[in-house]
C-alpha cells in the first residue's frame, strides 16, 4: 500500500510521435506509472472514450497533451470550412476532451501540460487552421489555470523529428530542438519543484 501511495501516475497522449516517445521514456526512467494510449486504442475526439481511459488510469499526478498534428493548407479564401474545422478537431478538441475528463481525477498536486506551437503567435500563409487551433490551446490552458487546476502550455518552435529534418536543408538542422530536452521540461512542469508555475507559456 505504501508503494502505491509513492507511485506517481501520468496520462500522456500522442505517445507515438517523435516528442511523445521521448516524454514517455523520460517519465518511465523517472519511475512514473505511465498510461499512454495510441490513437488506435482511444479516440480522443470521443469524450466518452477519453473519460473511460482517464478513469482507468486515475488518480493522476500528470496529464500531458501531446496529441495533434500539422497540415499546411491553402489561403483562407481557398480553404473550405471543413478543412479548417479538421485542424480544430485534431489539435483543440482532443486537448479539451482530455482536460475536461482529467480535471476531476487530478491528485491534489496534479498538473496538466498542453502543447501549442510558435505558429500560434506567428502564423504564416496557409496556416490559418493550424495556427487558430494552437492559439485555442493556449487560451484553453490559461483558462484552466484560472479555474483551479495547475496547467501550463508548451510553445515549441521546431522539434528535431525525422519529418522536420526531411522538410528542411541539413544546414538548418542545428535549429531543431531535441525531443529529449523538451521531455525534461515536461517532467519539471509536473513536478513539485514547479508548483508555483501555473498558466504559463513555456517556449521550447
pLDDT digits (tens, 9 = 90+) for 31-78: 999 999 999 999 999 999 999 999 999 999 999 999 999 887 899 999
List the one residue out of 107, 120, 113, 191 whose CA is nearest residue 145.
113
- Domains belonging to the chain, first-starting first, are 2-203 (3.40.50.720)
pLDDT in tens, 139-160: 999 999 999 999 999 999 888 7
What contacts 61, CB < 8 A, 6 or more positions away?
Answer: 8, 9, 10, 32, 106, 107, 109, 110, 111, 190
Write the DSSP string, 15-54.
TTSHHHHHHHHHHHHTT-EEE---TTT--TT-HHHHHHHH
If pLDDT is split at 50, 70 and 90, which confidence band does 3 have? very low
Mean pLDDT of the chain: 93
Return left, alpha or beta for 198; rule: phi > 0 is left, psi -120 to 50 is alpha, else beta: beta
Percent of the chain's residues with pLDDT above 70: 97
**Strand-pair partners of 153:** 114, 201
Task: Tell me how far apart the alpha carbons of residues 95 and 93 are, in angstroms, rounded to a whole number.
Answer: 5
pLDDT surpasses 50 at 198: yes
- Output the pTM of the full model: 0.93
Report, as an integer, the average pLDDT of 104-108. Answer: 97
CA distances to 15, 75, 176 from 162, rounded to whole Å, are 16, 27, 11
C-alpha cell at position 199 = 498558466
pLDDT at 19: 94
Q: What's the full length of the chain, in residues?
A: 204
Amino acid at each position: 500500500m505504501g508503494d502505491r501511495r509513492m507511485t506517481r501516475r501520468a496520462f500522456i497522449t500522442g505517445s507515438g510521435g517523435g516528442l511523445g516517445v521521448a516524454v514517455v521514456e523520460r517519465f518511465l526512467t523517472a519511475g512514473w506509472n505511465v498510461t499512454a494510449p495510441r490513437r488506435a486504442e482511444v479516440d480522443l475526439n470521443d469524450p466518452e472514450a477519453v473519460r473511460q481511459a482517464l478513469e482507468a488510469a486515475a488518480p493522476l499526478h500528470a496529464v500531458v497533451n501531446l496529441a495533434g498534428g500539422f497540415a499546411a493548407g491553402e489561403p483562407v479564401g481557398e480553404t473550405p470550412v471543413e478543412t479548417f474545422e479538421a485542424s480544430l478537431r485534431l489539435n483543440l478538441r482532443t486537448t479539451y476532451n482530455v482536460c475536461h475528463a482529467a480535471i476531476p481525477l487530478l491528485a491534489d498536486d496534479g498538473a496538466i501540460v498542453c502543447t501549442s506551437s510558435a505558429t500560434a503567435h506567428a502564423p504564416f500563409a496557409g496556416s490559418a487552421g493550424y495556427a487558430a487551433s494552437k492559439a485555442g490551446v493556449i487560451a484553453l490552458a490559461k483558462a484552466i489555470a484560472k479555474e483551479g487546476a495547475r496547467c501550463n502550455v508548451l510553445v515549441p518552435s521546431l522539434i528535431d523529428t525525422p519529418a522536420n529534418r526531411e522538410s528542411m536543408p541539413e544546414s538548418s538542422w542545428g535549429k531543431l530542438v531535441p525531443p529529449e530536452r523538451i521531455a525534461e521540461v515536461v517532467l519539471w512542469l509536473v513536478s513539485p519543484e514547479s508548483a508555483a508555475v501555473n498558466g504559463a507559456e513555456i517556449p521550447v
